Amino acid sequence: MNNEINPIEVDFNAALSRYKAGQDLIPIVQDFQRIIQQIPNHFAAWTCLSWLQLLLKNNEEALAAARQAVRLNQQDPQARMNLSLALLATNNKGVRDHVELIKKNVYDGARC
């Protein structure tokens, strides 16, 4: 069994903790961008990056990050929600489709 700590996950969790603590968003965005540079398919980092870009009103960047997050994990409701918000913020179409998929994923996941 491998008990090594993944430094990327340490960085991810540290960035997430700084966000939750209310720290300045711009350095946190840069942290997530560095994580993505090292692991381009880190869907959670793309999801976080899209949310932070939305908060900063960087709507086009948020849209690009959210689209990538959804490409990497189509079942993640937060990625789809971020994509829906970015689509709205950039006056793009397709919001309803994503909201319907979010509802379907949430309801399907709630079954016992």
Q: What is the pLDDT of residue 19?
A: 97
3-state SS of the chain?
CCCCCCHHHHHHHHHHHHHHCCCCHHHHHHHHHHHHHHCCCCHHHHHHHHHHHHHCCCHHHHHHHHHHHHHHCCCCHHHHHHHHHHHHHCCCCCHHHHHHHHHHHHHHHCCC
pLDDT band at 110 (very low <50, low <70, confident <90, very high): very low
Question: What are the chain's domains?
Answer: 7-109 (1.25.40.10)
**Is pLDDT of 77 > 90?**
no
The mean pLDDT value for 83-110 works out to 72
- Distance from C-alpha of 57 to C-alpha of 62, rounded to nearest angstrom: 8
The mean pLDDT value for 1-19 works out to 87
Q: What is the pLDDT of residue 102?
A: 61
The mean pLDDT value for 68-86 works out to 93
User: pLDDT digit string (tens) for 27-72?
Assistant: 999 999 999 999 999 999 999 999 999 999 999 999 999 999 999 9
pLDDT band at 111 (very low <50, low <70, confident <90, very high): very low
Q: What is the pLDDT of residue 44?
A: 97
CB-CB contact of 105 with 79 (8 Å) = no
- Distance from C-alpha of 83 to C-alpha of 62, rounded to nearest angstrom: 8
